[in-house]
Amino acid sequence: MLGIIKQKVGARGLTAPVFGDYMQKLSPVASAMRDFSSATKKMTVRDALNSALDEEMAADSNVFVMGEEVGEYQGAYKITKGLLDKYGPDRVVDTPITEAGFTGIGVGAAYHGLKPVIEFMTFNFSMQAIDHIINSAAKSNYMSGGKINVPIVFRGPNGAAAGVGAQHSQCYGAWYGAIPGLKVLVPYSSEDARGLLKAAIRDPDPVVFLENEILYGDSFPVSQEVLDPNFCLPIGKAKIERQGKDVTITAYSKMVGFALKAAEILEKDGINAEVINLRSIRPLDRDTINDSVRKTNRLVTVEEGFRQHGVGAEICASVVEDSFNYLDAPVERIAGADVPTPYTANLERLAFPQIEDIVRATKRACYRSG
């Protein structure tokens, strides 16, 4: 698994020469960072999440973390490392194995005014608790006539890791993204991780925070602004990771990295792709997506989740509704294969979108598949 991570990091091309070019293509704010790249700190997504949790717990004594292995074990993926020693067992709560139980308890604590951050070892296990997430958390403010708000965050790794099989690999973006009353966030970089987690913890509504296990170990540059303890990103705003004029590629979580790499390959063939990092599935930033499509006239959606009723389906519908006349080609949807995820590495690779798939689909959208 470590081998795959190393390969992927290498593939993204975060080595020095390519890094500069990569930064050049980003928005002006980011390219300003290029001037300070030697002084800019780098931070892994894991550290970004850990520091965000630490700072929010220090700032507000109502914030507490609960989940399996979050305390003594330092977190199944070490996201909560050091928090038990710093804040004690009342605020970093190790739970028995019952997702339904500790999710219900977290919701009850939120009803009374605490701000729980519930960790699922993977969102696949959240299915055991989904009744509490949807019926007890998401719908409560509405059903109680605005009397019971639930300032809770549900976080954990989502989607595929590597070689973990069908019951550990599903993406839940589309499932939770359908529910009114929930907010669903999907960070990609360390900046996203810090800014969005802080925003989620401070938000009075229930938030589902979908991380990615593979991204935990990835490093990203972070500016001084990002390191500020009050740094928050707005919920519901997508980020244009790469400006382009020929085609719009939307992606979230790990797929953002793949899309960026695909965009570099496409550049060599003269296709200038705009890559949008969704950052938020609910609310979905329809304006940014539609503005982009009105500029490029072509759309490719990328996701790891299943195709039917997926996030890409919603984006496609939104663009068809709002920007129909601007489309020069049918929308290309890239998603995970319609199978429970197989275990063996070769089959698993075929079950999820790869960089080549994104390149091919984008060429098709540009009528260049020849």
Partner 1 sequence: MASSYFSKSKALIMQNLKSRKFLTLGFVNRTSSVTTSQFPPHLIKTISFPPLPARNYESSSRINSSIAFARCFASVSGGRGAHTATSVSDDVDQFCTESPSQEVDFPGGKVKFTPKLTFTSKTIEERVPCYRVLNENGDLIIDSDSVEISKELAVKMYTDMVTLQVMDTIFYEAQRQGRISFYLTAIGEEAINIASAAALNINDFVFPQYREAGVLLWRGFTLQEFANQLFGNKYDYGKGRQMPIHYGSKKLNYITVASTVATQVPHAVGAAYSMKMEKKDSCTVTYFGDGGSSTGDFHAALNFAAVMEAPVIFFCRNNGWAISTPVRDQFRSDGIVVKGNAYGVPSIRVDGNDVLAVYSAVHQARKMAIQEQTPVLIEALTYRAGHHSTSDDSTKYRSLDEIEWWRGDQNPVKRFRKFIENKGWWSEEAESEHRSNIRKQLSQAIQAAERVEKPSIGDLFSDVYDASPKNLREQESFLRKNIEKHARDYPTDVPL
Residue 72 in the binding site for partner 1 (CB under 8 A): yes
Tell me how far the alpha carbon of residue 33 is from its chain's centroid. Answer: 23
Gap between the terminal Cα atoms of the chain: 36
CB of 7 to partner 1, least distance (A): 34
CB of 57 to partner 1, least distance (A): 13
Between CA 249 and CA 257 the distance in angstroms is: 12
Between CA 18 and CA 30 the distance in angstroms is: 15
Nearer to partner 1 by Cβ, of 7 and 144: the residue is: 144
CB of 97 to partner 1, least distance (A): 9
Residue 88 in the binding site for partner 1 (CB under 8 A): yes
Q: Annotated catalytic sites, by residue?
A: 99, 168
Q: Contact 202/53 with Cβ under 8 angstroms?
A: no
Between CA 343 and CA 347 the distance in angstroms is: 7
Identified binder of partner 1 from the candidate list 3, 113, 270, 370, rule CB under 8 A: 113
CB atoms within 10 A of CB 210: 24
Identified binder of partner 1 from the candidate list 2, 28, 112, 346, rule CB under 8 A: 112
Nearer to partner 1 by Cβ, of 256 and 284: the residue is: 284
Tokens read off for 109: 């604590």
Identified binder of partner 1 from the candidate list 234, 283, 330, 340, rule CB under 8 A: 283
Residue 141 in the binding site for partner 1 (CB under 8 A): yes
Amino acid at 4: I
Residue 110 in the binding site for partner 1 (CB under 8 A): yes
Identify the CA nearest to 360 among candidates 348, 368, 352: 368
Between CA 360 and CA 356 the distance in angstroms is: 6
Amino acid at 248: T
Q: In this chain, which stretch among 5-13, 197-205, 258-266, 304-312 interacts with partner 1, using CB under 8 A?
A: 197-205
CB of 289 to partner 1, least distance (A): 14
Identified binder of partner 1 from the candidate list 14, 19, 41, 149, rule CB under 8 A: 149
Identify the CA nearest to 74 among candidates 64, 82, 65: 82
Interface ranges with partner 1 (CB under 8 A): 64, 72, 85, 88-90, 93-96, 98, 100-114, 116, 131-132, 135-136, 140-149, 180-181, 183, 203-205, 236, 283
